[in-house]
């Protein structure tokens, strides 16, 4: 019996400078399931653990299939993710860029992102039989963000509003930042960032699980070989 309460399919950078940066920035390495000493910020900024509190528990990742409660068995889910990876080709875009999304920051792909969307769409649709339908309370919580008709449709059908044509791939770096600190936080992130990949290649997908402490960890990484 698994100790994970929810599962998700993420992209997580493979071993290297980007993965190391992400783990140190957030203070949680979801690949190894360990805490990591966080990057120090200038004294004029809020503590980094405050800035990164919202995304920390997920680890450094880009969502492909959002977290869901499992319907069925974990071995069957693992087999389905493996089969999906085996019939799905890798994707690439021109690179990654630091992006301000409202009041929070993420790394987003540049150039042609259609291949990334293709992979995400396959994860959402092909694995949906393993998702326990969301409760009305969960749906109502999602609606508080203010959804379009299309997003409401996706919420009802797929359990999450920002999928398929509403999907935007991103590697989250912060929660919401105070408006008067946005420029300073952006500068601090740029100082901490390693050289970003050019091109950005998505060559595998990761099945992850939510632990009893609420943090996500890697269960298995699957190479895209289709």
Say yes or no to pLDDT of 222 above 90.
yes
Please name each of the domains of the chain with its CATH number. 7-128+169-223 (3.90.1140.10)
Say yes or no to pLDDT of 146 above 90.
no
Which among 64, 62, 8, 40 has a CA at the least distance from the CA of 172?
62
Which among 195, 2, 190 has a CA at the least distance from the CA of 98?
190
Contact 23, 61 (CB under 8 A): no
Average pLDDT of the residues of the chain: 95
In this prediction, residue 145 carries a pLDDT of 83
Say yes or no to pLDDT of 217 above 80.
yes
**Helices (H) then strands (E): counts for the chain:** 8, 11
In this prediction, residue 144 carries a pLDDT of 84
User: In angstroms, rounded to a whole number, what is the distance separating the alpha carbons of residues 132 and 7?
Assistant: 11
In this prediction, residue 1 carries a pLDDT of 45
The pLDDT tens digits for 69-84 are 999 999 999 999 999 9
CA angle 222, 169, 126 (to 5 degrees): 50
Residues 6+ apart with CB under 8 A from 210: 4, 5, 6, 7, 8, 67, 216
The Cβ of residue 24 has, within 10 Å, a number of other Cβ atoms equal to 17
Which among 111, 42, 61, 123 has a CA at the least distance from the CA of 87?
123
DSSP letter at 224 equals -
Say yes or no to pLDDT of 195 above 90.
yes
- Sign of the CA dihedral 212, 220, 117, 61? positive
Say yes or no to pLDDT of 207 above 90.
yes
In this prediction, residue 43 carries a pLDDT of 86
> Would you state the structure tokens that stand for residue 43, as one six-digit string?
């004294």
Mean pLDDT of 6-11: 98
The pLDDT tens digits for 51-68 are 999 999 999 999 999 999
């Amino acid at each position: 019996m698994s100790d994970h309460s929810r599962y998700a399919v993420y992209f997580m950078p493979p071993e290297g400078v980007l993965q190391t940066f992400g783990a140190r920035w957030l203070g949680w390495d979801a690949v190894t399931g360990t805490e990591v000493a966080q990057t120090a910020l200038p004294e004029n900024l809020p503590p980094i653990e405050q800035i990164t509190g919202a995304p920390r528990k997920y680890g450094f990742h880009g969502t492909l299939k959002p977290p869901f409660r499992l319907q069925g068995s974990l071995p069957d889910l693992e087999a389905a993710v493996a089969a999906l990876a085996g019939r799905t080709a890798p994707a690439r875009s021109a690179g990654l860029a630091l992006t301000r999304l409202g009041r929070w920051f993420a790394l987003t792909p540049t150039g042609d992102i259609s291949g990334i969307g293709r992979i995400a769409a396959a994860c959402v649709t092909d694995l949906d039989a393993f998702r326990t339908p969301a409760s009305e309370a969960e749906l109502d919580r999602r609606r508080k963000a203010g959804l379009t008709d299309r997003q409401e449709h996706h919420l009802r059908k797929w359990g999450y509003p920002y999928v398929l044509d509403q999907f935007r791939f991103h590697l989250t770096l912060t929660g919401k930042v105070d408006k008067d600190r946005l420029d300073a936080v952006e500068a601090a992130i740029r100082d901490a960032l390693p050289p970003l990949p050019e091109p950005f290649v998505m060559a595998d997908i990761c099945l992850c699980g939510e632990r009893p402490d609420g943090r996500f960890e890697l269960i298995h990484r699957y190479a895209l070989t289709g």
